[in-house]
Structure 1
Amino acid sequence: MFATLLHEIPLQGGDVTDGVVRVGDTVRRPARSSTPAVHALLRHLEAAGFRGAPRVLGFDALGREVLTYLPGATGVSPVSVSDGALADLARLLRGFHDAGEGFPLARGGWDGGSNDDAPPEVIGHCDLTPANVVFADGVPYAMIDFDQARPTTRVFDVVTTLRHWAPIADPVDRHPLLRGVDVGERLRLFCDAYGLRPRERRRLLEVARLRFHRSYEVMKARAAGGGSWATLWDGGAGERIRRASAWLDAHEDRLRAHLV
């Protein structure tokens, strides 16, 4: 058990997790119902030699989980939107999925969320936004915040990542640095670097559409319970999902040409 320390630095960036602080070389986070499952996954990744995730150190005197702090930068920047960074991110996600093989998919305790209809293959991060990817020396080397992790398919986790990094979004909702990018080219680049198989590429846009529909319903239901989800919803999350879905419908043929 770690003692409570006075010098705490609040960490910002996530949308729905409050109370995350840095204490020295550790991160303290409020424990959740999914924490035991997440800790089991992180320990599995450590045993597999995957270096792109925090290590579990236990709990402090306030009952918060204690993880290693991973130094670096998060968020959208000229470095993080480059083609090289996108390819590196795809390889990081592939390494995470490969390292997670053998972890029991039937284990319960995950928070749940939208998902694919196909049988689960891996534990997906399912929330690999720019706020949850850590860069050092221009390279995305680690992922953080596994609160939305759950059993899923590889292509579904690829879709949840490309939603933010391609990005599959209406230009009005994109970061200014991503408004002028060729989304189709970025989809292809990511899939090539990840090594996504042809049959998975053929499903990618179908799964993206499915995710838009289901994530809208999941977020709406969670927002009804108040808290951070309600704040996110009130800030226009539902409208952004609807616009992204409509943008995908309007550009599907052009995007598909880059994939198959």
Structure 2
Amino acid sequence: MFDGWVSAAFGTADPQRFERCFAAVHQAAVQQFPLLPSALALTSLWIQAHLAAQGKPLPLVGEALSQLAEQGCRRVVVNSLLLAEGAEWDKLRSQVEQRRADFDQLILIPPLLCSRSQACAQALDALFPAKPGLTRVLLGHGCAQGENSAYAALQAQLKSAGRDDLSIALLHGGPSLGELLEKWNQSGARRVELNFLMLCAGHHAQEVRRESRSWAAAYPALSVTISDLELGSCPAFQELFLSFTEETGFNG
């Protein structure tokens, strides 16, 4: 039985988006285990400073773990509110390791695509039902220095589920968004919907929207729309993050 937990997020500097996509997950866990000490913490000093400047002070992961240790917690779970591995996951692992000696047991839950890939594929299948004549591109962040195997595994699971209309592109790694748009442009597709395979797209969404101004000329056969949907605010994905209670035998 664990006696405390930390919800660890990279987050976003936008307080309203942070509430929808990250704080809501933590609050759902608090409601499930109201008597256990817990904390919502950040991996990024930059995000921490920007949120604090807007009236939302939050601890870094190491600070949150120190607070739980001071409260007498000895068996703690750190639930990573991350979608995939990358720089922030590496940073989170380092922050947790630095505090491991403070506890009898300290468990770090991996990102969703690494530990619950099939469940993610099922959630995406339900969230984006197939529509005749519509192709969807799911744009993930990806990792420039890595193989992005979790995204490849997710694509394979979507394909095995018969969802050839769902294709994953990456900002860092391949296939790129441009490569997929060119593929659909040449294949005879006409309608493409771009969705962000991110908990909160933030500035990436702004960059893609600026880039989209050139798409009409580059891909004349395509009509491309960009969705505002945030996966972090979707109940299905919030529930996936709460599944750490089953995986660890967490008992409040």
With the length of structure 1 as denominator, give the TM-score of the two structures: 0.28
Bigger CA radius of gyration: 2
TM-score by length of 2: 0.28
